[in-house]
Every structure is written in structure tokens, then in C-alpha cells.
Amino acid sequence: MRANKNGRLKAALTLLRIAPLIVFLCLWEIAARRIERGVFYYGSPSSVAELLLAKLADGSLIRHTWVTLYEVIVGFFFGNVIGIIAGLALCYRPGISQIMRPYIFLVGSIPILALAPIMVIWFGIGLFAKIVIVALSTVVVATVQAFEGGINTSPDLIELLNSQGASRFTTFRKVVVPSSFLWLFAGLKLNVGFAILGACVGEFIASDAGLGHMIFESMGLFNTPALLVGVVMICFISILLTTVVGILQRKVMPWRFKRGEHDFYGEAF
Amino acid sequence: MSIHTTSAACSSHDSPSKQQTPASPVKTALDVQGLSKSFNGKNILDSVTFTADEGEIVVILGPSGCGKTTLLSILAGLKQADSGLVRLKGELILGSSVHCSLMFQESRLLPWRTALENTLLPAEVDGESNLAEARSRAVELLTVFGLGEHLHFLPAELSGGLARRVAFARTLLLNRSCYLFDEPFKEVDFLLQLQLEDTVFAFLKNQNAVSVIVTHDAEAAVALADTILVFGGSPTKIVTRFESGLARKLGSPRAARKSVEFNALFQKVLAIYASE
């Protein structure tokens, strides 16, 4: 009885989630067809879907998506790993964090658009430059989040470890690092967006492949449906990565979820 | 066993058997001399002096906010006294020490660890090489405290009372020279308190360690203690000292609570405690 009710609730939720999308797509389709040159300027769901299938079939879409996905994943990985290590290290040595704080703030305040061109000069127009740009656009958020997470460890728990005669490193390992996970994953989720932004910026500036390249090229050709195909695939990458981060969080900190707590942003679905 | 305070007017007599036999196997284990501490210019503790023998259960009875927690923090080496010193088995306590096991007012469980893993924490911190043995000891302790079914529960899945019992098991996991309890029955319902008193007493009575229990509950003090130190005044000092030993004589705090002597002593303690 109860399971049945839950099932119905879930079905209703799915329906309510999909309904606005369907309404939007329908209105778009109708409007685009009615307006003169509507499909040309605004695209339409059917033209985008048609083109998407065609580009999938000829392999070009897969190639572009793969390039962007690769840049995003590798850059995301390095940016976050370096950031998390740096953030936790700063937390372990607060003295250094006092010195470094203005520099972190400075690097964080430079928009990636301003930094990307110099990366192209230094590292060329290949994949490596894009990976560096993606890493750069994620590293500061990861650093700050890991640092804040560590710093916000409950002083009660630190005192508990002190009372047990724990060394600084033991306290760090047993309490500070696990405490930082919540902040750290919040940072990872934000960084999915920043990573994709970095990849697009890199591809806009100079590239010969990738979804950003495809979008930029489509703009030049006034090919709205092709441009929108790129946007759809970027959404796909974003959902994919957010889901992966959500799954990772469930694996790393199952204690957060035992009581049916739901992390709104962590689970796209 | 002796006590030196300026206002020990109502003090019951020292037990002469212990004091006058230096050759006896019972030795002074905890020696607290003239501890004073102030915060922001306000005196919290004023020259607190007492000693406790091996195996003795000392209950410190005082109103909330009288500096009992501060005293325990100093004994555990978490805070420094402004003056005075603490010796544990003849050794000066300076800074965080592994001689003491302190149970805080709050359960303070690590949310990512199960009941069993939380209980094991002191062994891991201590660099215990034989974790398997510590583990079986932890399971045993948790079972004694009635958590046999909850070994793998996370703190978020435990009620306040169960979490408190995990904190007890964690505090008692390792053999220490000194066990310190800060309001161990705070926010525990009365029936559970009776049960916990018996369990903890059964554990502590067989130990060589000194136990210091801080509470504002005069009944628990009479039921558990060998010695009761009543704290009071501002700044806080030891006002009076009572010998109880009822639980030890009658076998358990619950038996002590049922005895006639319990009520008599409780009234005496209350008279002093309430006047402070």
C-alpha cells in the first residue's frame, strides 16, 4: 500500500518535472514555425533534434563532444586535486594560509576569460592549453572550499582528539579531513559548471575541435540549430558530471545519506 | 587521603585507616595542589586541593557554571592552571596527557564513524598495534552498555541515550590511570541513569584508576562516590568533603540508593550543597 503510494508520488513528480519542458518545446516549435524565418533565427526543437541525429550519424558530434568531455574531465580532475591538496595543506598550516590568502583571492578574482589568452600563447591551441584553462578555472574554488571545510571542523571534536593525546597529524587525518568533505563536495559541484565554462572559453579563443568550437563556428555561419546542438551536448556533459560527483559523494560519505537526506544539487534526478 | 581547604568546617572525618598506613598497597594516585584559574580577570577556581587514592571514585558536586568543567580540563591537560599543580602517580601533568580518559558533557561522536568505530577511536589514536584485541574489547564494552545490536549504527541513527552510552564505552576502552567524567548523566532519563550508574560503577570498582565524576546531581554523587567534594562559592573552592562508599559497601549504586544510609547522607550533602 505504502510502496504503491510512493510509486505514484514518484510518477507524479516525474510528470510534473517533464511537463514544463514539453510545454516549452511545443510553444517554441509553434512560434518558430509561425514567425518568418523563425527556424533560421531561433531554431526549433524538431530542427535541433534532426540535426543532432544527423551529426551523431556522421560521427562529427561524437568527436566534438569527446574533445570537450576529455578537456573538462582531465582539467576538472587536476584542478580539484591540486586545489583540495592546497586547501587542506593551508588548513594544516594556518600560518601559511595567512600569507597566501591575498594571493588566492587575487587569482580567484581574475576572470578566466582574461587568463585564457595567455595560456594559448604559452601552451598553443591544442588540448593541453584547454586542460590548463579548465584546471585554472576550478582550482581556486576547490582550494577555498577545502580550506573552509577544514577550518570549520567542530572545535569539540578537535578537543576530543586532543584529550586522547592525538598528534596534530592524527587529528588532521581522523577529524579535519573527513569534516571537510561536505564543503569539498559542494565545491566539486560548483566546479562542474566552472570546468565547462573554462573549456568553452578555451575553445572559443583558439581551437579546431570541441563543442565550444562547434558553437563558435555555428555562430559565424548563422547556423542556429547547429549552435543549439552544441548547447544540448554541453547540458549533457554537465548532467553527466554532476551525477558522477553525486555518486562519488554517496560512496565517500555514506553517513551523510543514511537517513534519506537529499542533497538537492547533488542529485540531478 | 587528605584535604586542605580553608572552609572545611563541616567536613566529615578522614578515613584514618588509609591515611595512617603508609605501607598499605593503596597509594595516592591523584594529587591536586592549589589549582587556581581565572578567565578575563574573573577567578574561576581558587586554590583547589585534594588527593585521591588508586581505585577511588571521587565525585565533585557543584552547581552549573562553577568551574567543574574547567577543573576536569586542567586534569586532562587540555587547559593550563594559572597556579598549582597536578600529579598523577607522582608524575606532573603538563599539557595533553595520555594518562587520562575524559568523557565530555556532550557525546562528541564522529558522525562518519559507526558506534563501534567511534568506540575504537582512542585505540587508533594511541597507535595501538593490536587493533583486533581493542576491537573485541570495544564490542564487549558496547554489549555491556546494551549496544550489542547497534554496533554498526551511525551516530545520526542513535538516540541521545544510545550516543551517550557509546561515549561511555569509548571513554573506558583503554586502561588509563585516571577516568574523568563531565556530567555523564546529563540529559539522560532517570531510569537509564540508574542503569548506567550500575554499569559504570561495576567497571570502575575493579580498576586501579582514579575516577573523577563531575555532576550537579547530589543523588548520583551519594550513590556512586567513595568521596564527595562539594564545590561552591565564588571563586569556586572545595567547601566540604563527605565519605560515602555506599555503592562499594553494598555492591552497586542501585543498592546504595535503596539503603537507609543513602537518605541520611543525601540529606547531609543536600544541606551543604543547597546552602552554597
* Spatial separation of the C-alpha atoms in residues B138 and B145, rounded to whole Å: 11
CB contact at 8 A, B124 and A174 = yes
Q: Which residue has the higher pLDDT, A35 or A135?
A: A135
Cell of B193: 541513569
Burial of A80 (0-12, 13-18, 19+ CB in 10 A): buried
* Residues of B in Cβ contact (< 8 Å) with A175: 110
**Contact at CB, A258 and B111, closer than 8 angstroms:** no
The C-alpha cell at B166 is 557509546
Cβ neighbours of B100 in A, within 8 Å: 163
Beta bridge partner(s), residue B215 = B61
Look at residue A2 in the predicted model and tell me its pLDDT. Answer: 56
pLDDT at B100: 87
CA dihedral A165, A169, A171, A175 (to 10 degrees): -160
pLDDT tier at A122 (50, 70, 90 boundaries)?
Answer: very high
The pLDDT of residue B141 is 93
**Per-residue CA distances from B246 to A168, A188, A197, A224, B263 (Å):** 43, 59, 73, 89, 11
CA nearest neighbour of B268 among B211, B226, B230, B216: B230
Q: Provide the residue ranges of all domains of chain B, joining segments of one domain with +.
A: 53-80+94-275
Please tell me the distance from the alpha carbon of residue B227 to that of residue B229, in angstroms, as a whole number: 7
Per the rule left: phi > 0, alpha: psi between -120 and 50, beta: everything else, A104 is alpha
HSE of A132, CA atoms in CB hemisphere, 13 A: 15
pLDDT attached to residue B17: 40
The rounded distance, in Å, linking the Cα atoms of A113 and B128 is 53
Distance from CA of B272 to the nearest CA of A (A): 33
- The answer to whether residues B178 and B100 touch, using CB atoms and an 8 Å cutoff, is yes
Pairing of strands B100-103, B57-61: unpaired
What per-residue confidence (pLDDT) applies to B126?
A: 86
Question: Per-residue pLDDT averaged across A147-153, rounded?
Answer: 92
- Answer yes or no: do B108 and A156 touch at CB < 8 A: yes
Nearest chain A residue to B94 by CA: give it. A165
Q: Which backbone phi and psi does B111 adopt, to 5 degrees?
A: -65, -20
Write down the pLDDT at residue A259.
53
Backbone angles phi, psi at A165, to 5 degrees: 75, 25
Given a contact cutoff of 8 angstroms between Cβ atoms, the answer to whether A172 and A237 are in contact is no
A255 touches chain B (CB under 8 A): yes
Helices (H), A110-210: 112-123, 127-151, 155-163, 168-171, 177-205
CB contact under 8 A, B78 and A163: yes
- Provide, as residue numbers in chain B, all residues whose Cβ is less than 8 Å from the Cβ of A162: 78, 96
- The enclosing H or E element of A37 equals none
ipTM, 2 dp? 0.85
For a pLDDT cut of 70, what percent of chain A falls above it?
A: 94
Chain A nearest-CA residue for B174 = A164
Strands B57-61 and B210-215: parallel
* Number of helices (H), then strands (E), in chain B: 10, 10
Which helix H or strand E contains B157, and what residues bound it?
none
The pTM is what?
0.82
Element (H, E) at A258: none
Contact B78 A178 (CB under 8 A): no
Cβ contacts below 8 Å, chain A against chain B, sum to: 52
Strand partners, B227: B58, B243
Specify the length of chain B in residues: 276
Superfamily of domain B53-80+94-275: P-loop containing nucleotide triphosphate hydrolases (3.40.50.300)
Strands (E), B54-99: 57-61, 83-88, 91-92
Q: Which segment of A5-9, A201-205, A252-256, B78-82 scores lowest on mean pLDDT? A: A5-9
What is chain B's pLDDT, residue by residue, as a tens digit (276 residues)? 444 443 333 334 444 443 444 444 567 888 888 888 888 878 888 888 898 988 899 999 988 878 888 888 888 888 888 888 888 887 787 766 678 899 999 999 999 999 999 999 999 998 877 888 999 999 999 999 999 899 999 888 888 889 999 999 999 999 888 999 999 998 888 999 999 999 999 999 888 889 999 998 999 999 999 999 998 877 788 888 898 888 888 989 999 999 998 999 999 888 888 887
A82 pLDDT above the threshold of 90: yes
- Whether residues A174 and B125 touch (CB distance < 8 A) is answered with yes
pLDDT of residue B211: 93
Give the tens place of pLDDT for each residue, A17-31.
Answer: 899 999 999 999 998
Q: How many CB atoms lie within 10 A of CB A100?
A: 17
Average pLDDT estimate for A2-7: 69
